[in-house]
């Protein structure tokens, strides 16, 4: 539940302590966090399956990541997925909000295959970019080689919302919510369409949960209008409730009920027809990997498993509008993939989905993103367009003293410009790339820090998020929690 800005500060603090000689051992299911460690051990079922620096692990995968942008991602995924597998020219296909990621040992060969198949399917390729694989790619590939698979049980869908695809499902017009004299959400307007996955991002306390609660009728706005699944009034009626699903951040299941009892309860509350209940409950158990454990008390499940059951409970009634507030907190990479496969399927079937997350690699799975700072929506667009709108140029420096380099540059430039990813220093330059690079090289050289390499990089969503939040803060838009 910690937001990216605070997380980066936390990691800077850890890097500092490590540079002073402290040994730190930490556990995380998030591979973008693992990228910041000196060495990483990939553990599965009680055994270590790989160990090395993030770079070594990436190299061992022996593949490049290809970002493919095309006219219809759902169709492209359907066409390319069957070609992927171990020993193939395409090792893996993963769908994101506005691109597909492929892992390919020989990108040139893979490119020909992709072009051929997509053109046969009548799709136009807009762009193919090559990049390094992420640690998450590496970990998922490793797990698959061990025979682990992404849970992909077909959902027993009985309803179809595709006839509404493209229409407005969630509409907010100048929504404001005050708690006493404090304004949690100010003048927020947004639209989410049927068939769309919309991600709401923001620092802790930015107002995301309050926004979701207003949008689904749980909190009354102080001002502004909400439109939800065609309704503007009485959003808490049972009719509206049956059209929406809500997985809340704090509460989603009763700990002192068994898994089965929770499923039965939510099937009842959401009005799942009796004749559909058994198949739906069975699906949730399969999706969660909990078949045979239905009598277990929910409170005894680890967080990641509870999240799977909660997600299943929120979609059993096939809502046309789905709110997911940090659904994947504590969920491991393979299970996260199952979540997103399912979320994409629901969107393909016409469901409108509004999701919050603090993991920006995951935010790339959304079709559109809204960025909130201190109760206001300050940026909106597709993941690609939000990154493209970022001003300046990103340079990636590798130095012999990454921590000292970070401290030095942070002290002498605006903080949001500088961040450390593992041993790579990201610096956002304003000016002409050559001038900027020279200036930073001089600063580093003057302090006796050697630059091993410097090359232009591409903005990650995290670079953008942090600079948007830090810039807004520097203009005085800040909150205690922010
Ligand atoms: P997080 O990422 O931590 O979940 P968020 O973006 O979802 O944060 P909200 O939970 O919407 O943020 O909170 C926004 C602000 O409104 C916070 O300052 C919070 O303390 C305040 N707030 C929320 N609910 C109430 C309430 N019922 N009474 C008073 N203040 C509240």
Q: Is the CB of 329 under 6 A from ligand 1?
A: no
- Per-residue pLDDT averaged across 60-74, rounded? 93
Q: Which atom of ligand 1 is nearest to the CA of 179?
A: 29
Residue pair 328/305 in contact by the 8 Å Cβ criterion? no
Q: Is the CB of 319 under 6 A from ligand 1?
A: no
Q: Is the CB of 7 under 6 A from ligand 1?
A: no
Structure tokens at 101: 């990621």
Which residue's structure tokens are 């953008």? 464
426 burial class (0-12, 13-18, 19+ CB within 10 angstroms)?
Answer: buried
Residue pair 360/328 in contact by the 8 Å Cβ criterion? no
* 352 CB-near residues (< 8 Å, 6+ apart): 169, 170, 192, 193, 194, 195, 196, 198, 320, 321, 322
Residue nearest ligand 1's atom 29 by CA: 179
| Tens-place pLDDT, residues 288-299 | 889 999 999 999
pTM: 0.87
Residue nearest ligand 1's atom 19 by CA: 205
Number of residues written out for the chain? 482
Residue pair 354/200 in contact by the 8 Å Cβ criterion? yes
Average pLDDT, the chain: 89
C-alpha pair distances (Å), 199 with each of 193, 309, 315, 326, 327: 12, 21, 18, 10, 12
Query: What does the longest C-alpha to C-alpha distance in the chain come to?
Result: 74
Distance 119 CA to ligand 1 centre (A): 48
Band (pLDDT 50/70/90 cuts) for residue 280 is very high
219 burial class (0-12, 13-18, 19+ CB within 10 angstroms)?
Answer: middle
Residue 434: is its pLDDT beyond 90? Answer: no
Band (pLDDT 50/70/90 cuts) for residue 7 is confident
Q: Which atom of ligand 1 is nearest to the CA of 177?
A: 16
Q: Among 4, 205, 248, which residue has the most ligand 1 atoms within 8 Å of its CB, making it the best to mutate? A: 205
Band (pLDDT 50/70/90 cuts) for residue 481 is very low
For the chain, helix (H) and strand (E) counts, in that order, are 17, 19
Q: Which atom of ligand 1 is nearest to the CA of 481?
A: 18
Structure tokens at 411: 């002290």
Residue 482: is its pLDDT beyond 50? Answer: no
- What order do you get walking across the sheet with 92-95 strand by strand? 92-95, 100-104, 64-70, 125-131
Residue nearest ligand 1's atom 9 by CA: 207
Residue 239: is its pLDDT beyond 50? Answer: yes
Q: Is the CB of 373 under 6 A from ligand 1?
A: no
| Tens-place pLDDT, residues 313-351 | 999 999 999 999 989 887 888 888 889 989 999 999 999
Q: Which atom of ligand 1 is nearest to the CA of 372?
A: 6
| Tens-place pLDDT, residues 443-456 | 999 999 999 999 88
Sign of CA dihedral 9, 12, 14, 17: negative
Structure tokens at 407: 């401290």
């Amino acid at each position: 539940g910690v937001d990216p800005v605070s997380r980066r500060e936390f990691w800077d603090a850890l890097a500092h302590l490590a540079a002073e000689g402290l040994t730190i051992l930490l556990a995380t299911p998030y591979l973008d966090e693992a990228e910041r460690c000196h060495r990483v051990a990939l553990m599965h079922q009680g055994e270590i399956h790989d160990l090395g620096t993030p770079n070594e692990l990436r190299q061992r995968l022996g593949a490049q990541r290809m970002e493919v942008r095309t006219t219809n991602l759902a169709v492209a995924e359907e066409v390319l997925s069957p070609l992927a597998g171990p020993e193939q020219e395409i090792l893996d296909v993963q769908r994101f909000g506005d691109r597909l990621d492929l892992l390919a040992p020989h990108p040139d060969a893979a490119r020909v295959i992709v072009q051929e198949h997509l053109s046969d399917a009548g799709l136009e390729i807009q762009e193919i970019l090559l990049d390094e694989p992420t640690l998450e790619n590496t970990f998922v590939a490793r797990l698959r080689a061990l025979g682990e698979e992404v849970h992909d049980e077909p959902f027993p869908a009985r309803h179809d919302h595709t006839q509404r695809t493209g229409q407005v499902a969630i509409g907010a017009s100048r929504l404001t919510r005050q708690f006493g004299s404090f304004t949690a959400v100010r003048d927020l307007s947004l639209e989410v369409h049927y068939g769309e996955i919309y991600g709401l991002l923001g620092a802790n306390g930015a107002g995301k949960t309050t926004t979701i609660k207003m949008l689904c009728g749980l909190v009354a706005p102080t001002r502004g209008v909400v439109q939800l699944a065609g309704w503007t009034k009485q959003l808490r009626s049972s009719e509206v409730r049956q059209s929406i699903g809500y997985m809340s951040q704090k509460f989603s299941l009763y700990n002192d009920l068994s898994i089965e009892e929770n499923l039965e309860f939510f099937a009842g509350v959401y009005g799942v027809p009796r004749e559909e209940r058994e198949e739906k409950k069975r699906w949730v158990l399969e999706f969660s990997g909990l078949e045979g454990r239905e009598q277990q008390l929910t409170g005894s499940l680890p967080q990641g498993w509870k999240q799977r059951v909660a997600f299943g409970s929120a979609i059993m009634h096939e809502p046309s509008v789905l709110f997911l507030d940090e659904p994947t907190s504590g969920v491991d990479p393979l299970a996260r993939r199952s979540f997103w496969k399912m979320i994409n399927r629901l969107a393909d079937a016409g469901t409108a989905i509004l999701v919050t997350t603090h993991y920006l690699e995951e935010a790339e799975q959304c079709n559109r993103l809204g960025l909130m700072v201190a109760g206001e929506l300050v940026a909106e667009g597709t993941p690609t367009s939000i990154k493209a709108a970022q001003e300046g140029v990103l340079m990636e420096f590798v130095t012999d003293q990454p921590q000292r380099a970070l401290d030095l540059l942070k002290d002498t430039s605006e903080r949001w410009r500088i961040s450390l990813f593992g041993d790579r220093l990201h610096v956002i330059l304003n000016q002409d790339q050559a001038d900027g690079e020279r200036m930073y090289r001089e600063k580093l050289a003057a302090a006796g820090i050697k630059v091993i390499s410097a090359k232009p990089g591409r903005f990650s969503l995290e670079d953008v998020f942090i600079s948007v939040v830090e810039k807004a803060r520097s203009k005085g838009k800040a909150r205690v929690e922010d």
